[in-house]
Structure 1
Amino acid sequence: MKVEDLFSVRGRIALVTGGSRGIGEMIARAYVENGARVYISARKAEACDALAKELSQFGECISIPADISTMDGVAHLAAELAKREKRLDILVNNAGASWGASFAEFPESGWDKVMDLNVKSVFFLTQRLLPLLEAAGSPDFYARVINIGSIEGIRTTHLEAYSYAASKAGVNHLTRLMAKFLAPKHIAVNGIAPGYFPSKMTAGISDEDNRETLAGTPLKRMGQPDDMAGIALYLASRASAFVCGAVIPVDGGLATTA
């Protein structure tokens, strides 16, 4: 099989949550530029609409703003997609949030906000979209769910982001559990555990902490859009046809150091 066929997503239908910026934007852009019809969702409608308009210069990109930290938002997004499509080939559960505070001062709100968006929405949005995913999957080509975890759910970080680290460990393991039980429905579930990429989340980290992180990264740099595009295309294409339940670090080796 030719490389361009092996890694192709042309003609596939994808939904990327948290798709208006950061890692979500990197993934959405990769899919659009390689021939998929891509829906992006984010809480802020203006940003979501603006990126969809920009990416539509290169292919098909449609904005469906939604706040999936709530069950109403999850239901809204699933219903809006079902109005437009009869199948969903690729679901990327990327929307996420973080919260930093010392152990003694960490608030309940910082726990619940992060858990609701980072873990709960992954499970229930996939559940609501199950009919569309099942419609897309077949024995020859499984539908794909790609959950965005984090290496902070694998390693012990130097940052006091308790709910974030716990939530991403939850996503990493939820990915394995979903993979086991959705595979019989012709849906392959895998995860990406990113390291440090340019995003609003990493922009909030102090310069000192960023320097410490980069110093501990064997490849000595942050991730770039092409780094995320490559793994996202791989997990959505025939190239990963025999990959199921994997959580793949994309972190320059940082998870090996702590």
Structure 2
Amino acid sequence: MSHLFDISGKVAVVTGGSRGIGLMIARGFVEAGAKTYISSRKADVCNAVAEELSGSGQCISIPADLGSEAGCRYLADEVAKREEQVHILVNNAGATWGAPIAEFPDDAFDKVMNLNVKGIFHLTRFLLPQLQKAATEADPARVINIGSVDGLQAPAMETYAYSSSKAAVHQLTRHLAHNLASRNIIVNAIAPGPFESKMMHETLQRFGDNIRATNPRKRIGEPDDMAGTAIFLSSKASAYITGVVIPVDGGVSTRHQ
């Protein structure tokens, strides 16, 4: 049965791959034998992480700012210079913003939506030629979008743009899945709950004990939880699954749907 979860030899691209959930996924891919490209806005950090992960396999850094169409085109072009085929695209790069409703700035919505939603759309369409070359009926190419449980339920914190963007990611996932299935490209989303990340750091510092206590599993997510889900969605085991949003949250979303 192990062949069902084998991704060795595949080419993967993970955006936001230098920290947090993206790093968890990238590390899992590298250790599972996939040639993994990571991208993030800060070149020095991205390069250092790729060098560190290369101790376990193949990891290449291509820094890029995916908050604009031009940035997405740049990353896709750089990948295309190196690879004719891309088997796995993980759209993880994202941003958040919190402010009281009366003070929430208009440009915060633009920043969050441009990166979290439009960035996914642009990068996916720009990499379609490489994804299609990798795709077969038996083993489709994969697009994995990182949503959030905050896109499934109303969060307590005033992160209006973030939760709206993640709900949009889930719908975009379903829409892309419907239209790309005939090209042997399957599109799914992961909706993480609480995990250790820079984005969650302040929240966990302030409310970590309560978050753990109220989670049905009584803990926050660990790197293997995220890497395992991403590897499943990238492997032959998931070849007949498309258009789904998988909460990886310890059961949080079971109480708030």
Structure 2-normalised TM-score? 0.97
Matched, 1:108 2:106: yes
1:206-245 maps to which residues of 2 (within 5 A)?
207-245=205-243
**Aligned partners of 2:212 and 2:255: how far apart in 1?**
11
**Aligned partners of 1:22 and 1:70: how far apart in 2?**
22
Letter of the structure 2 residue corresponding to residue 183 of structure 1 = A
Shift of 1:117: 0.5
**Aligned partners of 1:208 and 1:61: how far apart in 2?**
35
**Aligned partners of 1:220 and 1:69: how far apart in 2?**
35
Shift of 1:242: 1.0
Indicate how the Cα distance of structure 1 residues 206 and 55 shifts in structure 2: closer, same or farther if over 3 A, else same.
Answer: closer
User: Which whole-Å deviations, capped at 9, do the CAs of 1:115-147 have from their partners, x for residues lacking one?
Assistant: 011000000100000100011101121000000
- DSSP-derived class of the 1:218 partner: coil
Report how many residues are paired.
256
**Aligned partners of 1:116 and 1:257: how far apart in 2?**
30
Matched, 1:91 2:89: yes
Indicate how the Cα distance of structure 1 residues 256 and 58 shifts in structure 2: closer, same or farther if over 3 A, else same.
Answer: same
Gaps of 5+ in 2: none
Q: What corresponds to 2:28 in structure 1?
A: 30
Gaps of 5+ in 1: none
Matched, 1:196 2:194: yes
Match of 1:62 among 60, 63, 72: 60
1:1-258 maps to which residues of 2 (within 5 A)?
2-3=1-2, 5-205=3-203, 207-258=205-256
The answer on whether the counterparts of 1:16 and 1:94 sit within 8 Å (CA) in structure 2 is: yes
- DSSP-derived class of the 2:137 partner: coil
Letter of the structure 2 residue corresponding to residue 240 of structure 1 = S
Letter of the structure 1 residue corresponding to residue 15 of structure 2 = T
**Aligned partners of 1:206 and 1:52: how far apart in 2?**
27
Shift of 1:206: 6.1
- DSSP-derived class of the 1:189 partner: strand
Letter of the structure 1 residue corresponding to residue 150 of structure 2 = E
- DSSP-derived class of the 1:14 partner: strand
- DSSP-derived class of the 1:204 partner: helix
Identify the range of structure 1 (7-16 vs 101-110) with the bigger mean alpha-carbon deviation: 101-110
**Aligned partners of 1:221 and 1:109: how far apart in 2?**
35
**Aligned partners of 2:7 and 2:103: how far apart in 1?**
46
**Aligned partners of 1:160 and 1:254: how far apart in 2?**
19
- DSSP-derived class of the 1:95 partner: coil
CA RMSD of aligned residues (A): 1.0
Shift of 1:207: 3.5
**Aligned partners of 2:8 and 2:78: how far apart in 1?**
23
Letter of the structure 1 residue corresponding to residue 70 of structure 2 = D
Letter of the structure 2 residue corresponding to residue 132 of structure 1 = Q
Shift of 1:94: 0.2
Letter of the structure 2 residue corresponding to residue 133 of structure 1 = L
- DSSP-derived class of the 2:203 partner: coil
**Aligned partners of 2:155 and 2:208: how far apart in 1?**
12
Percentage of matched positions with identical amino acids: 54
